[in-house]
Amino acid sequence: MKLREYEAKNVLREAGIPVPAGFLIRSADELTPHLGALGTAFVLKAQVDVGGRGKAGGILMAGKADGTKVAKELFGKLIKGLPVKEVLAEQKLDIQHEYYLSIMVDRSSKQPLILFTEAGGVEIEITAREHPELIKKVVANPLMKDLPPFMIRELIGKAPKEIGPVINRLYKIFIEKDALLAEINPLVTTPNGVFAADAKIIVDDNALGRQGITMNRDLSEREREAEKHGFSYVELDGAIGVIGNGAGLTMATLDLIEYYGGKAANFLDVGGGAESERVMNAVRLVASVPSVKVIVVNLLGGITKCDEVAKGIIAAGISQKVIVRLAGTNEAEGRKLLSEKGYEMLDTMDLVVKKAVQVTA
């Protein structure tokens, strides 16, 4: 789950990384008591869970005189379709130089990878493409609690030495907060020292519990409902509902729908070993989306038993058409149950998907 900017900055502040003085407000009126502390010019930043908010108009400059008016304007906006409910009012920094600092989980080395460049700021991806040599990379050993000084020296090169402690503190945050990504862009130098002007922290969904995060905001309401049942669920914008077991097989089913020219409405991965009640819940959840005209069930029984799946489909009793492909453990029993009730069954995933696409065409 991605932390909002003000949450990420609180984490940084607690770890001793300087961040600009700032206040979170939930309405334009809440700005008034902070006007004195913010100085003559400050920044209002919409706290929305979406990337590229600056270019979408989510960051506005303001001053003591027009602050409340600008805040009202920002609270009235939609940023990439999302309403602005929280705004971070933040001191404007006197920026001398912008750096980029990031720590991520590196699939390739299986270790934390630290990136640093003196060419930071909004154009960082262009720098990465055109001048990759400007980005310094160091792989850390996850068994070490601190970065050894030589790694920090390698990273910062000729950049100011005061950046060194920031790198080590961000590394500790990365480890202790179960981050998949901890990024400061830009990390800026000012006459008053180094500051993290913006920050992004993504917490591992598998560690939300031990990080004391009770609700995953990145999920929609129906996705959270699905999560309670232990399903992975994603909503799309077509007419075919998809139920599979295992992420790979479910994804391959979706790809096949696209291959045959159809569009999926949603997909749900029931996971392994699903019993009839779980399957029933899965079918009902997928069918509860109004745009779903037909449901493809593609299950390969390993530890999942086909007769349990069949019972679940029948018990769901939904109005939409269900097209089933079942293979594996207890396949014959499952097929018998479904054919008695008149469900359409086909032998391969190609056939069920083709049929579903025809039905919705």
Q: Kindly list the residues in this chain that would bind other proteins in the complex (CB under 8 A).
A: 2, 51, 100, 102-108, 110-113, 115, 124-125, 128, 132, 135, 137, 141-143, 175, 178, 180-181, 183, 185, 200, 202, 204, 206-207, 210, 218, 234, 236, 244-249, 251-252, 254-259, 264, 272, 300-303, 327-329, 348-350
CB of 125 to other proteins, least distance (A): 6
Catalytic residue among 5, 183, 233, 308: 183
Q: How far apart are the first and last CA of the chain?
A: 37
What is the Cα–Cα distance from 315 to 255, expressed in whole angstroms?
Answer: 28
Nearer to other proteins, 192 or 348 (CB): 348
Rounded to the nearest whole angstrom, what is the least distance from the CB of residue 134 to other proteins in the complex? Answer: 11
Query: Rounded distance, CA 4 to CA 232, Å?
Result: 24
Shortest Å distance, C-beta 268 to other proteins: 14
Q: Which tokens hold the place of 276?
A: 């009839």
Task: Specify the residue, 68 or 291, whose C-beta has the smaller distance to other proteins.
Answer: 291
Measured from the CB atom, is 60 or 103 closer to other proteins? 103
Q: What phi, psi does 41 have (nearest 5°)?
A: -130, 135
Token pair for 338: 């479904």
Residue 219 main-chain phi, psi, to 5 deg: -100, 145
Residue 306 CA to residue 325 CA, distance in Å, equals 10
The bridge status of strand 78-79 relative to strand 136-139 is: unpaired
Residue of 100, 171, 233, 308 marked catalytic: 100
* C-beta of 25 vs 294, nearer to other proteins: 294
Which single residue is written with the structure tokens 């590196």? 106
Minimum separation from the CB atom of position 23 to other proteins (A): 25
100 is catalytic: yes
Smallest separation (angstroms) from other proteins to the CB of 252: 5
How far is Cα 324 from Cα 295, in angstroms, rounded to an integer?
8
Nearer to other proteins, 56 or 300 (CB): 300
Q: Would you call 90 a catalytic residue per the annotation?
A: no
Tell me the C-alpha distance between 145 and 113, whole Å. 14
Q: Which is nearer to other proteins, 58 or 67 (CB)?
A: 58
Whether residue 243 contacts residue 284, with contact meaning beta carbons closer than 8 Å, is answered with: no
Closest contact distance (angstroms) between CB of 218 and other proteins is 7
Residues assigned a catalytic role? 100, 183
